[in-house]
Structure 1
Amino acid sequence: MFYNDFKDLKLSALGFGAMRLPLLEDQKTIDEELTAKMIDTAIKGGVNYFDTAAPYHGGKSETVIGKILANYPRESWFLADKYPGHQHYETFDPAGTFEKQLAKCGVDYFDFYLFHNVCENCYADYMDPRWGILEYFVKQREEGRIKHLGMSSHASLPFLKEILDGPYGEVIEFCQIQLNYLDWTLQEAKAKVDLLNERGIPIWVMEPIRGGKLAAVDNVPVSEAFRWVNNTPGVTVTLSGMSTLEQVEQNIATFGERSPLSEEDIARILAAAEGLKRGVPCTACRYCCDGCPAGLDIPTLLKAYNDLSLGFSFSPMMFIEALPEDMRPSACLECGQCNSVCPQGIDVVTALSELSGLYEKYPKWSDICRERNAEEAKEMSENIHNSDEATDAADKLKDALDSFERAIDPEPYELRINTKLRAQLTRVRNCDTELFEQKVGLNMVIKTYNRKVFSPLHKLTCKIFKFKMKSIYFVGENFR
């Protein structure tokens, strides 16, 4: 295994991605025994970088990876996790999410932590001052609970520039982008690499073989696809979402030593990429835009069309979804003005119509997030009704409130309680809601951390303020 320098660290060039772990026959449950063998093989082969995230495997990836890595000395591996600010939650709780991730992974700190997929589709949430996402994680880095802070992004080139020019660009230490020989031009990966190198930002690579789509390309073996990525200036870590022991072994062999490609090899690989492309030969001259009565950004839409012509891809789907409806391909008036001025003779009207159909055909990112959250809500709801831990936690909460009432002199107070929370507590254990109306002589805020407005109780935290002698912090946790 060869290593790349990152500040004072030596990082394995191959990173173990935990998004596509092997599954049992039900195709839902992670095969922990096989995953443990894969990780053991990876570590023995020199891999020291492991990457997980909250949404991976329905939230189970973090737990499994943390459990397995705990069998090895903490200083022998680096763990990366991500904040799911791209998940379209109605409310965001950086502190609650971060604490949960640390607990699931069984660690006191993350070596690397990323803002997950900062792009057009979710940048407003990442920037929303109500959540304080950036500020919170910068503070965690200052306190040593995050060693290095970065971001991943599927943003378009112009929007990536906007992000880097803003507050996030000022604090990130590395950036993870989709990079492979097909997306070198298809998704402007070359220009993104140039941009990051100009800014002095180390590059982490995701989708080096495009989710497996480049695994069976004639004349370009998988090993060459990885070598092509390693040949790219500025690349520090290349993540591979491995699903079998054989893939781990093959990748370790590929990353066993630096193996630069010749100019002839590079030309051959890029030629193969051109052969894979479908769609239309748009050169982005923008003649079509000048007279478009709908004001559409036609070249950018055609770029998305070319990408989706190869099959489903998150980047173009998220880009279109982030557009106002009157700027999407469905807004085309089919006047034909663009067709008449296109130097390449592209039937733009037909291409936009087909793009609109592809967009409607494929799942939207918001729908994917909604399904994920619904599954999580269902699991939480079942746990709320069935778990003895929930009953115990409710008992502890009631006992604590009783103790506070006995300990503190009665004084006027204001108790603000989420009405949905009250209903949920009542449903959990037929809690006496009058308990929450008693005057316990302090200011109390009972706050629910809901990942969606329809989500059942995720985590209950009672914060007690203005106690005369000391501050009390009580957590009634695991109503799950």
Structure 2
Amino acid sequence: MIYRDFNGLKLSALGFGAMRLPCVDGNDATPDQDAVNEMVDYALESGVNYFDTAWGYHDGQSEIVLGRALARHPRDSYYLATKFPGYDLANMDKVEEIFEEQLRKTGAGHFDFYLIHNVCELNIDEYLNPAHGIMPYLLEQKRTGRIRHLGFSAHGAIPVMERFLEAYGEHMEFCQIQLNYMDWEFQDARGKVELLRRHGLPVWVMEPVRGGKLASLPEADAEKLRALRPDEKPVAWAFRFVQSVPEVVVTLSGMSDMEQMRENVATFAEDRPLTEVERAALDEVARDLTSQGTVPCTACHYCTSHCPQGLDIPHLLSLYNQLIVGGSGDFIARMGVGSLPEDKRPDACIGCGSCAAVCPQQIDIPGTLADFAARLA
């Protein structure tokens, strides 16, 4: 197992993410405790020591099931992470209630890593609202040792992350972002890594295979990679890309069965950094994946000055592309639209065509926004 240094700790480069656990009869709310026990045992035996869960995973059952599986092992043999669920604004005034319940559910005694969850456009104002008392409470838990390391996760765009870091950056020790070779440019994961580097924060990775999308590539793209590394599957390429980003400490994988666990453990048994030629091949695959069905908006903003509704058309088209590409992009798109006022969403387009008349890329903007609204509905 590859290990990375973090504040004197040796963390396994592969982390066990408990968002996609095996379930009984395919019911997401009933994780299979016996199967999870087996996977946790194998992970620990193989050198994995970082385990990540959250309040909302598996309809609230993930913390319980993972806690039971880990409780069968010495507490000092693993690091446990969970998160404050501010993605739901109704939780903002419940930080103490939720934290105490998380300790009870996991039976962990303390959390080695605790994250402010999913900082994004929908919740940034409330996360920064001192009336909720979130940060003072979490800092007090850190002072008493019930939280050992405090960080945050972010699906929001760079300006949102900048606002959060301006307010709380001095208290943060790490940040978890969506990072994979497809989103390096598509969601500007590159820019997020650079932002975190400037703040001296190491990177934790979520969605390294973009919800499984990068584990099963179109045959033409898979063949490009096989020609360079015949012994590695597409999913291993996704992990090798992340391993090649020096700021990354832990890469989380939401493994659903023992086969995935064994393959991922084998991949993380050694570092195999990508060469420049291999990196170029991945860039080409990423371009193939992100061009399928998307619109070629260059964000020139000619359209916005002609929109009688005052819509931020380039932003909406960027969200549309996320939805079209799929995987975790579906979540990003819906979250982004949900953060907009109702009169600035795709269905506010009146179809006048003034925007399309000045679009250098000749995009059918009214038709695209109508399709966007229909897909969201």
Per the normalisation by structure 2, the TM-score is 0.92
Q: Deviations over 1:178-206 (max 9, x none)?
A: 11111122212121112111221111111
- AA aligned opposite 1:192: K
Moved more, 350-359 or 206-215: 350-359
For 1:331, the equivalent position in structure 2 comes to 348
Distance 2:43 2:91 in 1: 39
The answer on 1:225 being equivalent to 2:225 is no
Counterparts of 1:442-461 in structure 2 under 5 Å? none
Q: Deviations over 1:394-430 (max 9, x none)?
A: xxxxxxxxxxxxxxxxxxxxxxxxxxxxxxxxxxxxx
Query: Is the 1:85–1:92 contact (alpha carbons within 8 Å) kept by the matching residues of 2?
Result: no
The answer on 1:267 being equivalent to 2:267 is no
Q: Deviations over 1:52-86 (max 9, x none)?
A: 01111111111111111112221111000101111
Q: Secondary structure at the match of 1:113?
A: strand
Distance 2:55 2:254 in 1: 15
Identity %: 51
For 1:442, the equivalent position in structure 2 comes to none
Gaps of 5+ in 1: 361-480
Gaps of 5+ in 2: 226-233
Distance 1:16 1:134 in 2: 27
Q: CA deviation at 1:90?
A: 6.5
Moved over 3 A (4+): none
Counterparts of 1:25-174 in structure 2 under 5 Å? 25=25, 27=27, 28-89=29-90, 92-165=93-166, 167-174=167-174
284, 302, 323: which one aligns with 1:308: 323
Distance 1:136 1:5 in 2: 28
The answer on 1:176 being equivalent to 2:176 is yes
Moved more, 134-143 or 13-22: 134-143
215, 234, 245: which one aligns with 2:258: 245
Q: Secondary structure at the match of 1:238?
A: strand
Distance 1:7 1:331 in 2: 50
- AA aligned opposite 2:89: H
Query: Is the 2:152–2:172 contact (alpha carbons within 8 Å) kept by the matching residues of 1?
Result: yes
For 2:229, the equivalent position in structure 1 comes to none
Larger RCO: Structure 1 or Structure 2 (Cα < 8 Å, ≥ 6 residues apart)? 2
Distance 1:71 1:91 in 2: 33
Query: Is the 1:79–1:110 contact (alpha carbons within 8 Å) kept by the matching residues of 2?
Result: yes
Distance 1:91 1:168 in 2: 16
For 1:292, the equivalent position in structure 2 comes to 307
> Once superposed, what is the RMSD of the aligned Cα atoms?
1.5
For 1:368, the equivalent position in structure 2 comes to none
Query: Is the 1:13–1:238 contact (alpha carbons within 8 Å) kept by the matching residues of 2?
Result: yes
Instruction: Report the structure number with the largest CA radius of gyration.
Output: 1
Counterparts of 1:182-261 in structure 2 under 5 Å? 182-217=182-217, 218=219, 219=222, 220=225, 221-261=234-274
Q: Secondary structure at the match of 1:116?
A: strand
Query: Is the 1:186–1:303 contact (alpha carbons within 8 Å) kept by the matching residues of 2?
Result: no
Query: Is the 1:121–1:322 contact (alpha carbons within 8 Å) kept by the matching residues of 2?
Result: yes
Q: Count matched residues.
A: 359
Distance 1:19 1:305 in 2: 25
- AA aligned opposite 1:245: M
Q: Deviations over 1:344-378 (max 9, x none)?
A: 12121211111122222xxxxxxxxxxxxxxxxxx
Per the normalisation by structure 1, the TM-score is 0.72
The answer on 1:352 being equivalent to 2:369 is yes
CA shift in 2, pair 1:26/1:187, >3 Å? closer
- AA aligned opposite 1:247: Q
